[in-house]
Each structure stands twice: as C-alpha cells, then as structure tokens.
C-alpha cells in the first residue's frame, strides 16, 4: 500500500523513552542521508545532531559521577570494616592466651566482652547509616567508660588512630548519602530539549513531503521509520510481550494512527545508570531494536 500524507502524520509525536533510549532514537533518525531534502529539514537535522551530542555528553558525565561515587563509598566501607575487624581479631587472639602466664589475656577478655558484647561483627554487614551509628556508639563508649588507655596499652595507638580516621570518613560518606545525588533536573531538561528537537525534525520531514509524489512520501516514511519502531517497542514492553527487533510488522502495525495524546504526553523518564525512572522503560533494547 502506498504511503499517504495521513500515514506520515502518524509519525508525529515522540515515544516516551528513557534518556538513553531517546538518544538512540535520535541517532537512528540522524543516520539517514540528507540527499534530496529541503533546507528546513537540513537545519532541523543539524539541530537534532547537536542536541543529541549534548544529551549523550550529559548522560555519560552522570554515569561517571555515579560510578566514581560508588567506588569511593565501597572503599571507605571496606577500610572501616577492616579497622574494626582487626581490633576484634587482635583482642580475640590475646584473650585466648593462658591467663596464668599472660595477665594481659584477662584484660583482653574484658575489653572484648565490653566493646563487642554481641560476640560477633554482624554490625559490619548492616547498611551504611546503621553501621555508622553502631561504630560511633562504640567509639563514644570507649571514650566515656575509660577503655581507651587499656586498649591502647594492649594494641598500640595505630588501631585507635585508624578507627578514628575511618569513622570520620564514614561520617562524611553517610551525610553525602543522606543528602542524595545531585538533582535529576538537568538530565530531565536535557531529555525535554532532545524530545523537542526530535519532534521538530519529524514535523519538518512530514511537512516537506510532496503529497502528490509517492516517492517523496515513501522517502519521508523511511526517514521516520525509527519513530514507528520505537513506539512499537514501548507498547510491547508495557504489555510484557517479547519483541522481535528484526520484524517490520511490529512497527507497521503501530505506526498508523497510533500517537494518541495520552501515550505521548503521559510523562518523562530519566534513566542513566542510577538516575530516577517512573514506569516501564526501554533502555538497552533500543540499541538493537530500532532499524536504521
């Protein structure tokens, strides 16, 4: 069946995708040659390319930030756990010595049962906030109950120095986690701008098609085919169905008269490896699912 102007109008409206999915959609649209297009399509194409690059840069910067922050948190947590584990193991080793030959064994037993009455280190497996609370309480107990001098006399100052150092680093880390990561507003703004550029490019392609020329209409449809495919992927994902990325029927069945306002304006989603998302999203599927 020949493509009509009404068929092209069904491509108007940008599918609701994650930021990553929207970038992939934009890049797929940009792959098509500009041969035979009008100046307004070329201008819209250039603007879309610039916005897609900016969105990709912003998303990668966010991913690097989240990755680096998590690596830092894991290192702080590991070092704090090692400090408390080393103290516990050292006291345990001294406490196992014969009391008649090593008077320090009695003192080690007393310190071990006082500082670690739970007889294990399960608190080291708790989430960051709870773990910091337990560690901080133990530090205050050592200082308040005059346990510091006998502890240092038995183990040396290095253990206590490391305990205090890691506790301060942990406090800063916990405060950072409570404050949360920087707002998603910048990425959401980037998503909106990219969607606007895709919409503008789509409109210009549709408007430039010659309704009296079947070849012109077919050419425009090919340029916008990714819109149809992306919309089909979203719809099938929402139904929980499996989509065959190589099947043209998925896009064909959803491309005509299928851009209802409720679907196209239901909300915006940001997902960038740790960003926020609401509802069902299409991420990795987009890369292989949109035909070029």
Nearest one of 166, 103, 171, 117 to 145, comparing CA atoms = 117
Q: Domain end: 116, 151, 179, which one?
A: 179
Mean pLDDT of the chain: 80
Domain boundary among 150, 179, 208: 179
Distance CA 166, CA 82 (A): 10
CA 206 – CA 5 distance, rounded (Å): 8
Alpha carbons 170 and 9: distance in angstroms, whole number = 57
Q: Do 55 and 190 lie in a common domain? A: yes
The answer on 189 and 54 residing in a single domain is yes
The answer as to whether 204 is a domain residue is yes
Cα separation, 251 vs 53, whole angstroms: 26
157: containing domain:
79-179
Same-domain status, 175 and 189: no
Please count the structural domains in the chain: 2
| 93 and 238 together in one domain | no
CB 7 within 8 A of CB 268: no
pLDDT by residue, tens only, the chain of 292 residues: 566 666 777 788 899 899 999 999 999 999 988 887 889 999 999 999 999 999 998 888 788 777 767 778 889 999 999 999 999 999 999 999 999 999 999 999 999 999 999 878 999 999 999 999 999 999 999 999 999 999 999 999 999 999 999 999 999 888 876 665 545 678 888 999 999 999 999 999 998 888 888 888 888 888 888 988 888 888 887 776 444 433 444 444 343 334 333 333 334 555 544 343 333 332 433 443 444 4
Overall pTM surpassing 0.85 (yes/no): no
Whether 153 and 126 map to the same domain: the answer is yes
* Domain's final residue, options 161, 179, 197: 179
85 & 218 share domain: no
Q: Are residues 206 and 110 in the same domain?
A: no
Examine residue 73 and state whether it is found in any structural domain, yes or no: no
d(CA 109, CA 90): 11
CA-CA distances (angstroms) from residue 15 to 129, 162, 202?
A: 40, 53, 12
């Amino acid at each position: 069946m020949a493509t009509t102007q009404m068929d092209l109008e069904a491509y108007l409206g940008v599918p609701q995708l994650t930021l990553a999915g929207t970038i992939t959609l934009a890049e797929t649209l940009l792959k098509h040659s500009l041969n035979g297009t009008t100046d307004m399509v070329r201008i819209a194409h250039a603007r879309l390319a610039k916005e897609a690059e900016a969105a990709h840069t912003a998303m990668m910067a966010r991913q690097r930030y989240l990755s680096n922050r998590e690596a830092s948190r894991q290192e702080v947590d590991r070092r704090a756990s090692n400090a408390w584990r080393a103290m516990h193991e050292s006291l345990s080793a001294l406490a196992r010595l014969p009391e008649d030959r090593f008077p320090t064994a009695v003192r080690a037993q007393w310190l071990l049962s006082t500082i670690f009455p739970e007889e294990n280190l399960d608190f080291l497996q708790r989430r960051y906030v709870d773990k910091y609370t337990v560690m901080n309480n133990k530090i205050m107990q050592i200082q308040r109950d005059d346990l510091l001098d006998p502890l240092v006399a038995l183990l040396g100052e290095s253990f206590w120095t490391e305990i205090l150092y890691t506790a301060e680093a942990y406090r800063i880390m916990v405060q950072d986690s409570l404050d949360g990561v920087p707002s998603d507003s910048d990425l959401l703004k980037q998503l909106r701008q990219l969607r606007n550029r895709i919409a503008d490019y789509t409109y210009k392609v549709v408007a430039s098609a010659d309704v009296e020329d079947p070849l012109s209409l077919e050419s425009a449809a090919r340029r916008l085919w990714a819109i149809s495919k992306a919309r089909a992927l979203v719809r099938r994902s929402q139904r929980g169905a499996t989509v065959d990325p190589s099947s043209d029927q998925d896009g064909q069945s959803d491309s005509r008269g299928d851009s209802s306002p409720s679907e196209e304006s239901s909300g915006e989603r940001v997902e960038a490896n740790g960003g926020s998302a609401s509802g069902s999203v299409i991420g990795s599927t987009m890369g292989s699912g949109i035909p070029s």
